[in-house]
């Protein structure tokens, strides 16, 4: 297999391998499963509060690599002297409206206006739990993003311009295309998922995973994806990685083709080369599936042979080669 550019048929981008989202029968099966579900899908007791100290960013990380995980897939990545904000969602709900839909389990750990100066904002796809429109509009107004590059997938530049981001600061990437931020190379790589902010615009913008490669460190951000055999080639072509960020939540066998879950994350980590540390993402903030809210992290903690890096929400935490971190804040 050779990694290549995305294929579009008509207005719809295609997955790297045949992938079905299911039709009416899938929707009916999911509805019945939700009706029968008794799992603790949201925390019974309030979580946190978690707080990010803005003063922590006054000094760069001694190791050259530090991550602040804000819950779900939103993170601030400090790598080799640059700062990237990944898939930021500060909204109360991951939904088209803020009066209904999946609600945050805990409040944002600090305000957007407390963020340090950013070199880039990285956006993997347009789903509401990764692409917070109110968040992005506010970010576009801040002095901290005045010189930032906005790196997104094909088709999302139009949305960013509508949210106030200047066109000359936007880079729209196809799979295997790269953008540079100083001496960082940020490359979009294929993922097995889909896009759309309604039932009527699915597949009309692209989705991706990303490789962030600096002079000293390499990161793989898996974003949202089901398992597929191209991950091994990504590992061979762009690895090895110091930190591999892979989704573990919002998984169910009904939609295993587009979300990998904890067991799939373990297999994907090994396919990517199994080097460095595995950071579980896409969990702990929104109810997006049938499983109990703690099930993904409990499951991946129970798997053998994984070097995990899982920090507490909102805490800027250095990544040290080979040093595991298994915060149990969720207990």
Structural domain harbouring 284: 53-326
**269 contacts 306 by C-beta, under 8 angstroms:** yes
Q: Indicate whether 206 belongs to any domain.
A: yes
Structural domain includes residue 129: yes
Tell me if 315 is assigned to some domain. yes
Does residue 261 sit within a domain?
Answer: yes
Q: Does the residue 43 lie in any domain?
A: no
Q: Is 307 a domain residue?
A: yes
Query: pLDDT tens string for the chain (331 positions)?
Result: 568 999 999 999 999 999 988 766 666 776 777 777 788 999 999 999 999 999 999 999 999 999 999 999 999 999 999 999 999 999 999 999 999 999 999 999 999 999 999 999 999 999 999 999 999 999 999 999 999 999 999 999 999 999 999 999 999 999 999 999 999 999 999 999 999 999 899 999 999 999 999 999 999 999 999 999 999 999 999 999 999 999 999 999 999 999 999 999 999 999 999 999 999 999 999 999 999 999 999 999 999 999 999 999 999 999 999 899 999 999 9
Q: Is 120 inside any structural domain?
A: yes
In angstroms, the CA 285 to CA 42 distance is 9
**Which spans in the chain are helix H?**
24-36, 133-141, 157-162, 230-238, 261-271, 295-302
Q: Give this prediction's pTM.
A: 0.96
d(CA 252, CA 264): 11
* Total number of domains in the chain: 1
Cβ neighbours of residue 24 under 8 Å, at least 6 residues apart? Answer: none
Contact 210, 185 (CB under 8 A): no
Backbone angles phi, psi at 170, to 5 degrees: -100, 130
Q: Does the residue 48 lie in any domain? A: no
CATH number at residue 72: 3.60.15.10
């Amino acid at each position: 297999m050779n990694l290549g550019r995305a294929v579009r048929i008509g207005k719809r981008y295609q997955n790297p391998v045949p992938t079905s989202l299911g039709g009416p029968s899938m929707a009916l099966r999911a509805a019945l499963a939700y009706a029968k579900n008794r799992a603790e899908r949201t925390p019974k007791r309030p979580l946190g509060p978690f707080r990010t100290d803005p003063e922590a960013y006054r000094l760069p990380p001694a190791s050259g690599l530090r991550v602040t995980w804000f819950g779900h897939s939103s993170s601030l990545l400090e790598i080799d002297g640059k700062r990237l904000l990944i898939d930021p969602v500060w909204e109360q709900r991951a939904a088209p409206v803020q009066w209904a839909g999946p609600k945050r389990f805990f409040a944002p750990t600090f305000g957007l206006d407390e963020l340090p100066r950013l070199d880039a904002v990285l956006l993997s796809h347009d789903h509401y739990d990764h692409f917070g429109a109110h968040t992005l509009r506010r970010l576009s107004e801040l002095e901290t993003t005045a010189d930032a590059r906005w790196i997104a997938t094909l088709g999302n530049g139009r949305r960013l311009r509508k949210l106030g981001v200047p066109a000359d600061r936007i880079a729209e990437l196809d799979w295997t295309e790269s953008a540079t931020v100083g001496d960082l190379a940020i490359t979009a790589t294929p993922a097995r998922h889909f896009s759309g902010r309604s039932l009527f615009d699915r597949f009309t913008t692209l989705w991706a995973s990303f490789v962030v490669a600096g002079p000293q460190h390499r990161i793989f951000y898996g974003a949202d994806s089901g398992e597929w055999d191209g991950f091994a080639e990504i590992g061979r072509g762009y690895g090895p990685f110091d930190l591999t960020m892979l989704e573990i939540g919002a998984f169910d066998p009904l939609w295993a083709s587009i979300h990998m879950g904890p067991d799939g994350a373990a297999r994907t980590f090994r396919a990517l080369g199994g080097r460095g540390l595995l950071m579980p993402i896409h969990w702990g903030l929104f109810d997006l599936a049938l499983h109990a809210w703690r099930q993904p992290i409990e499951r991946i903690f129970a798997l053998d042979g994984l070097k995990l890096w899982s920090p507490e929400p909102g805490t800027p935490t250095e990544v040290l080669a080979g040093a595991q971190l298994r915060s149990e804040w969720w207990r």
